Amino acid sequence: MSILIKSATLVDSKSNLNFKKKDILIKNGVITDIADNINAKSDNKIILDNLHVSRGWMDTSVSFGEPGYEERENLSNGLLTAASSGFTSILLNPDCNPLVDNHSSVEFLKKKSLNTTTDIYPVANLTNNSNGSDLASLYDMKLAGAVGFGDYKKSITDSSILKIALEYTKSFGGRVISFCQDEFLSKKGVLNESIVSTELGLKGIPNISESINLFRDIEILKYTGGKIHIPYVTTSKGVELIREAKKKNLDLTASVSIAHITFSEKDIPDFNTNFKIIPPIRSESDCNSLKEGLIDGTIDYLTSMHEPYDIDHKKVVFDDASPGSIGLESMFGLMCNQFTLEKTIDILTRRKIIFEIDDHSIEVGSRANLSLFNPDKNYEFSDEHILSSSKNCAYLGNKLKGVVYGSVNGDKLTLNKIWT
């Protein structure tokens, strides 16, 4: 299997070829030549308008549905959507039934991506059946390929469980993933607690529901050592707490979702359930703090927080709707609206090693792990740009800058059928 990429502008701040236009030849999954003009025969020749190439992108929070909720999304189409959107690596949440709380369930997910362009890195459940009280077989799941342990969008209410989990995972280098939203302060809440939620007559979730849990997590981490990842930071106070924790050299990482830096609560159309997202979209001040934290590295990652839901879960009253929006397809275009191209690529490719993902450089002899894109095309995101099985999307109608042509991972190539 050979792939020849023609006239591609390389975007890689770590390379001396940064922003230089080159041909790239890939044979049997390895980059064998990079030059101004390559005329070699190939199985696949890629010639696309204003083609740019970077190291493969990573997303730290993706949900599909399979096993158990295939009506939302199956793994096959979900992985195709991710690859078409430029992502060669995704952390897949245990948002399925049965849950990912044993060795075989982790193996099942790993095997599903063996022959796909996008690799799955499973997040396994921290506790058995996500019950919050009994630790799952964490070390056994680590051996199977789990890169983190958390009960998805369930907070760790029992502080002793977090303490024990950190002490135990420290022995084998595991990372605990802690969803910071106080269960009692946020109970039945559907929007950020503010004048907006009051005017709509909907119960709010206060900022302190995040900061209280985050402060506790940091204090326990100081005591035990170990590693914690915060999957979604949404508040100014959260950014401040993480910044101070990192100054103390704690092994704490964090992500923010694209929704939380794109929208503030004032942007939410009345009772549009696609904007029902947990944790909720916050104030404009919070939104600005999150962007600053992402730019200066306080927040490590930006995630699509891709959460597909079928129409039966969304075409209901706001209180009853399932929270979440798909985001893989629109992620790059939304980022290019808000950051320079170099910063966008930096954010999408940074600190993969934290989750034991190889960061392959764009050079001769390296494994091919590439994202293909045009950063300059402007368009309005619509239904026709959605590749996911579910169509619950908060970004419909947004003006985007930049389209993704696809991705390469080893000898596997996926091209986005909409743009190629």
Q: 3-state DSSP call for residue 358?
A: coil
Longest dimension (CA), the chain: 65
List phi, psi (to 5°) of 121.
-115, 100
72: pLDDT strictly greater than 90 = yes
Predicted confidence band of residue 266 (pLDDT cuts 50, 70, 90)? very high
Homologous superfamily of the 56-355 domain (CATH): Metal-dependent hydrolases (3.20.20.140)
What pLDDT sits at residue 270?
A: 85
How far, in Å, are 147, 249, 412 from residue 242 at the CA level? Answer: 21, 11, 38
221 within 8 A of 296, measured Cβ to Cβ: no
Q: Which residues lie closer than 8 Å to 148 by C-beta, 6 or more apart?
A: 91, 123, 124, 174, 175, 176, 177, 229, 355
Predicted confidence band of residue 197 (pLDDT cuts 50, 70, 90)? very high
Task: Give residue limits of the domains in the chain.
Answer: 2-53+364-415, 56-355
DSSP state of 266: G
Q: ω into residue 280 within 30 of 0, thus cis?
A: no
Q: CA torsion 308→108→26→333, rounded to 10°?
A: 10
Per-residue pLDDT tens over the stretch 114-127: 999 999 999 999 99
How far from the centroid of its chain's Cα atoms is residue 34's Cα? Answer: 30
Per-residue pLDDT tens over the stretch 272-330: 999 999 999 999 999 999 999 999 999 999 999 999 999 999 999 999 999 999 999 99
In single-letter form, the type of residue at position 79 comes to L
| CATH level 3 topology of 2-53+364-415 | Urease, subunit C; domain 1 (2.30.40)
Task: Give the CA count within 13 Å in the CB-facing half-sphere of 381.
Answer: 25
